[in-house]
Structure 1
Amino acid sequence: MHADSSSKPQIWQVAVILTIGVFAVSTAAIFIRLSMAAAGVQGVGFSLVVAALRLTLASLILLPAWRNVRRLQPSRRAWLYAIAAGGSLAVHFAMWISSLSYTSIAASTTLVTTNPVWVALISWGWWKEIPSKQTILGIAIALLGSILIAFGTAEAAESYTNPLLGDGLALVGAWAASCYFLLGREAQRQGMGVGSYVAVAYSASALVLLPLPLIWGTSYAGYPLMVYVYIFLMALVSQAIGHTSCNWAVRWISPTLVTLAILLEPVSASLLGYLIFDELPSVGVGVGAIAILTGVAIAVLGTRPRSA
């Protein structure tokens, strides 16, 4: 279904909304750190609480979209892809949020936004979408940047509890986000609309995450009020406003341009981290982040779109 050309926004309007979206997404790492500070705890158990509540609140916000799901009755394959995407999203948030307990905001957000590289590699292996030489070059540069970040956070080990573990968790989060993106693409190719897909995927993700803190032995209750305030703000600002704005922008401009814009997330998150927590990345992390952003940008620009 194509939007009426008369309702098409001006390019500057799209740019403004996309900028707001990227900035809103970049606040997630800040709200996570603030919730950890307010709770006085960190680690996997609390990270699972944050991830589960974030997705649950986002699912509640999207409850009205279920009317379209029932009305349009997507195919069984679309349902399966959407549910699998939700499972991948659950892994993404669990891993990435946990990474912020162990490594810097700059390292975590940079590594977790390398998903365009992994999407290209998975598409190559699974769908035989052969990457261009430019994409391969970008992947190589991004991987080099990842190594530099690993060394950079290792040098600053005294500042973080376990930086290499945090980097690894962020990288797994990027892999899970890549699967989420590809499975979501397939769900929509099977006829599920964007609104219906997001409602199903978020709900599936919330259902996967909700029991995990309890299994881990962590309670949802007993934290200071500000912990829940920060998580609510994360669901509202980072998820509902940030992710929705980026998804809206894809309707009007190239997905490549949107992906490139999202690469500004680590820059914005790192700046906020410095202003709020006085967290200044090491030289190694800074150089590695620049290498990753450059590599991912080259890879994205060199990606050949798959024919419909």
Structure 2
Amino acid sequence: MRPSGLKIASVLLLGIFAISFGSILVRLALAASGDRSLAFSLVMSAGRMGLAALLLLPSWRRPLASRRGLPYAMAAGASLALHFALWITSLSYTSVAASTALVTTNPVWVTLFGWLFFREAPSGLTLLGIAVALFGGLLIGLGDAQGGNGGTNPLLGDLLALLGAVAASLYFLLGREAQRRGLSILEYIRVAYTAAALLLLPLPYLFGGGYGGYPLAVYGYILLMALLPQLVGHTSFNWATRHIPPVLVTLAILFEPVGASLLAFLLFGELPGVQVLLGALVLLLGVGIAVVGGRR
């Protein structure tokens, strides 16, 4: 039975609230560690997923009800691992506002990949929205590069965030397919989160890092990443994709930059430049057009 619209909206609101803390917790962990290296970014990514998978260990006592969705869940986990590796690294180079705005272009990519892989042809309005959104992303990148807002290499950070959005879009689409093929939400997330953790955990060592020697606050922030943005936020959105189109779920995620940027201003005094704000508005407009076109 399909849940009521009120229940779906409530779960989406809970997810939005939880993920709004994601980039803020990353920035706090970066400040506490004093380490902006790629290795530490991977420590945060792997730690977040590893702790989330660890907290789901008791659920493995029950066997999977169906194995048809297992390959999709594992592929979704691989996409999620790539998403976090790219996105969290982007925050070492660019501002919270730019990173969160670019990484939430998911509706554009979900629509595009739905067309390419699932024969869900987009309308002309959807294609217009994609073009507008990409132009907004370009404005953000140029504004960041000129303004020097909150990052050491804004263009690189913006590119990483955009690629993170592509990976996240595959994650949501594959998650929908896994649940369509018989996996419950708990079965799906335990497979996907564990697969992501297993892929991410060795990476810090490959880049000269490790998991020890950081201030205690860093581990606290990583634990909060696992609890809030991951187990509450992502699981809420994954549950919603079972009941409504993924493009509508990713539209809800567009509210993340609003909350994240407000928190960034309150905590870090980070106020985006005019061109970055304009680019974000154009990007959101384009995504909105793409979503409306996708529903026709």
Q: TM-score range by the shorter chain?
A: over 0.9
User: Could you tell me which residue of structure 2 aligns to residue 24 of structure 1?
Assistant: 18
User: Could you tell me which residue of structure 2 aligns to residue 116 of structure 1?
Assistant: 107
User: Could you tell me which residue of structure 2 aligns to residue 242 of structure 1?
Assistant: 233
Alignment of 1:222 with 2:216, yes or no, is no
State the TM-score, normalized to the length of structure 1.
0.90
- 1:18: Cα distance to partner? 2.8
Task: Provide the secondary structure at the position in 1 that maps to 2:21.
Answer: helix
- 1:222: Cα distance to partner? 0.1
Alignment of 1:157 with 2:148, yes or no, is yes
- Select which of 183, 186, 198 maps to 1:207: 198
| Aligned ranges 1:47-196 → 2 under 5 Å | 47-68=41-62, 70-75=63-68, 78-157=69-148, 159-196=150-187
User: Could you tell me which residue of structure 2 aligns to residue 36 of structure 1?
Assistant: 30
- 1:126: Cα distance to partner? 2.5
- Residue 17 of structure 2 aligns with an amino acid whose one-letter code is F
State the TM-score, normalized to the length of structure 2.
0.93
Query: 8 Å contact 2:64–2:187 — kept in the other structure?
Result: no
- How many angstroms apart in 2 are the aligned matches of 1:263 and 1:198? 22
- 1:10: Cα distance to partner? 7.5
- How many angstroms apart in 1 are the aligned matches of 2:245 and 2:116? 24
**Which stretches in structure 2 are left out of the alignment for 5+ residues?**
none
Query: In 2 relative to 1, CA 223–184 (structure 1 residues): closer, same or farther, beyond 3 Å?
Result: same
- Residue 16 of structure 2 aligns with an amino acid whose one-letter code is V
CA deviations on 1:2-33 (whole Å, 9 max, x unpaired) are 36xxxx5682x654443232021010100000
Query: 8 Å contact 1:112–1:171 — kept in the other structure?
Result: yes
- 1:261: Cα distance to partner? 2.2
- 1:289: Cα distance to partner? 0.7
Query: In 2 relative to 1, CA 244–205 (structure 1 residues): closer, same or farther, beyond 3 Å?
Result: same
- Select which of 248, 255, 258 maps to 1:267: 258
Query: In 2 relative to 1, CA 188–101 (structure 1 residues): closer, same or farther, beyond 3 Å?
Result: same
**Which stretches in structure 1 are left out of the alignment for 5+ residues?**
none
- How many angstroms apart in 1 are the aligned matches of 2:226 and 2:207? 23
- 1:123: Cα distance to partner? 2.1
Sequence identity percentage:
57
- How many angstroms apart in 1 are the aligned matches of 2:150 and 2:51? 32
Query: In 2 relative to 1, CA 14–121 (structure 1 residues): closer, same or farther, beyond 3 Å?
Result: closer
- How many angstroms apart in 2 are the aligned matches of 1:253 and 1:185? 10
- 1:194: Cα distance to partner? 2.2
- How many angstroms apart in 2 are the aligned matches of 1:81 and 1:251? 14
- Select which of 278, 281, 285 maps to 1:294: 285
Aligned-CA RMSD value:
2.0
CA deviations on 1:18-68 (whole Å, 9 max, x unpaired) are 323202101010000000100011131100000000001111222233234
- How many angstroms apart in 2 are the aligned matches of 1:33 and 1:159? 10
Q: How many residues align?
A: 296
Query: In 2 relative to 1, CA 192–97 (structure 1 residues): closer, same or farther, beyond 3 Å?
Result: same
- 1:293: Cα distance to partner? 1.2
- 1:74: Cα distance to partner? 1.3
